[in-house]
Chain A
Amino acid sequence: MDQKARVKTRAAELSARFQAAGAVPVETPLLLPAEVLLDLYGEDIRGRAYVTSDALRGEQMLRPDFTVPVVQMHMAHGAEPARYTYAGEVFRRQEDDAARANEYMQVGYEVFDRENPAAADAEVFAVVKEALGDVPVRAATGDIGILAAAVAGLDTTERRKKALARHIWRPRRFKALLDRFSGRAEMPASRAKLLAADAPLDHGYPDIGVRTQAEVAARIDWLREDAQAAPISAMQVELIEALLAVRETLPNALEHIRDLAVDMPAISEAAYRLRDRIAAMDARGVDVNTLGFEASYGRTSMEYYDGFVFGFTVEGRADLPPVATGGRYDALTQVLGQGREIPAVGGVIRPGLLVDLEDAA
């Protein structure tokens, strides 16, 4: 049997397994309206997805993942709770690494359930883990919700918190903003000059473009207000940094985060959620004592995940993409639900990588 047929067969087996776990098989289009994906992910998605177009439907994207169409389908006419599985090709533009596949199979398992988030997280993780069998992979977990809670609890202005929350998935800008808001980084000369100016709008340039002078004035007002606000305290910055550095086994990570919560009560709720999830995973037979937790996990690659995140990577092969990844994406259902929302969590396996690993065993 040729490799592609074997991968398809393996995908069908995984899908059957997910169906046995209670998921309903669903199909989605290969071509998705680009507008929805661009609106969600921004320009970054253009670097990762193939875009095509016609005069009638405009820009279309070759399905870069299943999550968005499955969520849309569920929000349009899904009953609750729901479990879905899908199997099919996704397409990823590769401009910098010819060794990475630009077309591969994904098999997914998604749970839409508002009753018990901890149990749903544990279910998805356990179902995906069991499906991977004995192949030599290393699991990592994280929780974007803890960092988001820490940011929301900072003793500073709402606008600063909003600016930081917006960049949770962009660690570099997040750090730059934190340095700026805490006074650790000096204000750029241009900003100092602007704030010192009596009439910054007397700049001598004609008013051109869509962005109005009223918008410019509003931002200058905010910058002035921000310059008056007290810096975020060094202690709070250190707490955020200590939180981001947590990287231990799950039980130790929980202890560590609880210790941090003494000085950062805003993350207490998120710590309880982590505790409940660990208990739910344990109840599902997952060996939580050896499972890793990294507070920064998932910050760079998975923008729509906003709670629990996980991935399974091949041991000793940092060059390979993860065999399976997943996480919670409650906010995505809000954005796509047009006023409705439902907590959701899911995971995907790459059967092509799984077959390679099984062959190598």
Chain B
Amino acid sequence: MTIKLGVPSKGRLMEKTFDWFGARGVQLSRTGSDREYAGAVEGVDGVELVLLSAGEIPRELAAGRIHLGVTGTDLIREKLGQWEQQVQELAELGFGHADLIIAVPGCWADVDTLDDLDAAAAAFRAEHGFRLRIATKYHRLVREYLMDAGVADYQLVDSQGATEGTIKNLTAEAVADITSTGDTLRANHLKILDDAVVLQSQATLFRSRVAQMTDAERGGMAALLETLGLGG
């Protein structure tokens, strides 16, 4: 019986997560070959490392298949309805900072705010006969944000990657995407709307509210959180 800890399986997010736990006395590491998603935990007993894609961690937490998981706030909020009832935020890890923003072509000299975007969308629809397209993979977050702000005459089109390129490819007029430095946006001749931060995200340790635990696992969880300085 072990506590299952889900951690992103590759890249900087994995390394930074390992560093964060390491600094608190829990050594996480990958074992076996580079291609094998297996890991080891030292410094605390009864904890198993599960390496997953960051995008799958919200679902695994909500299903109770892992007890703890590290992923971005953006993914939790996009993928889980009523997320607060399914997972609990234990700690912000201080890296993986990214904002979900809305960006438009820099050549739209007349558009800098949501108010402008809304007015441009109305004119665009009248001119072209279809709603202004915003490419994103964060459908729920962006829709709720724009609905709340009272923006009309747009439509979301799905883009699971290379979102910044959709405008040049004429498959969207604007994008809603995660950015940390804005470099990719600038390279694609886009500018961020002044007043449209949909969400500020960072890597966060979440606890599943639905995962079952035996008494022994409960003890293991308490010991782990104690070691991490999150007890009490």
Interface membership of B61, Cβ < 8 A: no
A43 contacts B154, C-beta separation under 8 Å: yes
Could you tell me the distance between the alpha carbons of A38 and B168 in the complex, rounded to whole angstroms? 25
Could you tell me the distance between the alpha carbons of A311 and B204 in the complex, rounded to whole angstroms? 44
Residues of A within 8 A of B151 (CB): 173
B residues 120-164 touching A (CB-CB < 8 Å): 120, 122-124, 127-128, 131-132, 139-140, 143-144, 146-156
Question: Contacting B189 at CB < 8 Å: which of A46, A191, A205?
Answer: A205
B109 contacts A215, C-beta separation under 8 Å: no
Could you tell me the distance between the alpha carbons of A207 and B168 in the complex, rounded to whole angstroms? 9
Residues of A within 8 A of B167 (CB): 208-209
Given known pairs A190-B194, A194-B109, A208-B189, the reply for A47 and B119 (CB within 8 Å) is no
A203 contacts B150, C-beta separation under 8 Å: no
Interface membership of A174, Cβ < 8 A: yes
Interface membership of B64, Cβ < 8 A: no
B152 contacts A167, C-beta separation under 8 Å: yes
Could you tell me the distance between the alpha carbons of A221 and B167 in the complex, rounded to whole angstroms? 24
Number of interface residues of B (CB under 8 A): 45
Taking A44-B143, A191-B116, A206-B189 as given, write out 13 further A-B residue pairs in contact, using a Cβ cutoff of 8 Å, ordered by the A residue number: A42-B152, A43-B131, A96-B81, A170-B150, A173-B149, A191-B112, A197-B109, A203-B107, A205-B107, A208-B189, A209-B173, A216-B108, A218-B123
B168 contacts A209, C-beta separation under 8 Å: yes
B150 contacts A211, C-beta separation under 8 Å: no
B174 to A, closest residue via Cβ: A209
Query: How far apart are B146's CB and chain A's nearest CB, in angstroms?
Result: 7
A207 contacts B107, C-beta separation under 8 Å: yes
Question: Contacting A211 at CB < 8 Å: which of B105, B147, B168, B189?
Answer: B105
Interface membership of A359, Cβ < 8 A: no
Given known pairs A43-B154, A211-B173, the reply for A172 and B149 (CB within 8 Å) is yes
Could you tell me the distance between the alpha carbons of A13 and B161 in the complex, rounded to whole angstroms? 53
Interface membership of B22, Cβ < 8 A: no
What are 29 A-B pairs at a CB distance below 8 A?
A42-B131, A43-B146, A46-B143, A47-B147, A95-B81, A96-B81, A166-B152, A170-B150, A172-B148, A176-B150, A190-B113, A190-B116, A191-B112, A191-B113, A191-B116, A194-B109, A194-B112, A203-B106, A203-B109, A205-B105, A205-B107, A206-B189, A209-B173, A210-B173, A211-B108, A215-B123, A216-B107, A219-B123, A220-B110
Could you tell me the distance between the alpha carbons of A209 and B189 in the complex, rounded to whole angstroms? 11
A202 to B, closest residue via Cβ: B109
Could you tell me the distance between the alpha carbons of A38 and B156 in the complex, rounded to whole angstroms? 11
Could you tell me the distance between the alpha carbons of A209 and B111 in the complex, rounded to whole angstroms? 14
A residues 53-81 touching B (CB-CB < 8 Å): none
Question: Contacting B118 at CB < 8 Å: which of A43, A173, A200, A207?
Answer: A173
Could you tell me the distance between the alpha carbons of A225 and B127 in the complex, rounded to whole angstroms? 20
Q: Which residues of B contact A (CB under 8 A)?
A: 81-82, 105-110, 112-113, 115-116, 118-120, 122-124, 127-128, 131-132, 139-140, 143-144, 146-156, 167-168, 170, 173, 189, 191, 194-195
Could you tell me the distance between the alpha carbons of A47 and B105 in the complex, rounded to whole angstroms? 27
Interface membership of A213, Cβ < 8 A: yes
Given known pairs A163-B119, A208-B105, A210-B173, the reply for A219 and B189 (CB within 8 Å) is no
Residues of A within 8 A of B143 (CB): 43-44, 46-47
Q: Which residues of A contact B (CB under 8 A)?
A: 38, 42-44, 46-47, 94-98, 163, 166-167, 170-174, 176-177, 180, 188, 190-191, 194, 197, 200-201, 203-211, 213, 215-216, 218-220, 223
A200 to B, closest residue via Cβ: B109
Query: How far apart are A57's CB and chain B's nearest CB, in angstroms?
Result: 19
A176 contacts B115, C-beta separation under 8 Å: yes
A166 contacts B81, C-beta separation under 8 Å: no
B107 contacts A208, C-beta separation under 8 Å: yes
Could you tell me the distance between the alpha carbons of A174 and B170 in the complex, rounded to whole angstroms? 31
Residues of A within 8 A of B153 (CB): 42
Question: Contacting A209 at CB < 8 Å: which of B105, B112, B148, B155?
Answer: B105
B153 to A, closest residue via Cβ: A42
Could you tell me the distance between the alpha carbons of A216 and B124 in the complex, rounded to whole angstroms? 10
Question: Contacting B107 at CB < 8 Å: which of A96, A167, A213?
Answer: A213
Could you tell me the distance between the alpha carbons of A206 and B152 in the complex, rounded to whole angstroms? 27
Could you tell me the distance between the alpha carbons of A98 and B82 in the complex, rounded to whole angstroms? 9
Residues of A within 8 A of B140 (CB): 47, 95
Residues of B within 8 A of A167 (CB): 150, 152
B142 to A, closest residue via Cβ: A43
Question: Contacting B147 at CB < 8 Å: which of A44, A94, A174?
Answer: A44
Residues of B within 8 A of A213 (CB): 107
Question: 4 closest A-B pairs (Cβ-Cβ)?
Answer: A173-B150, A205-B106, A190-B112, A170-B150
B83 to A, closest residue via Cβ: A96
Query: How far apart are A335's CB and chain B's nearest CB, in angstroms?
Result: 13
Residues of B within 8 A of A208 (CB): 105, 107, 167-168, 189
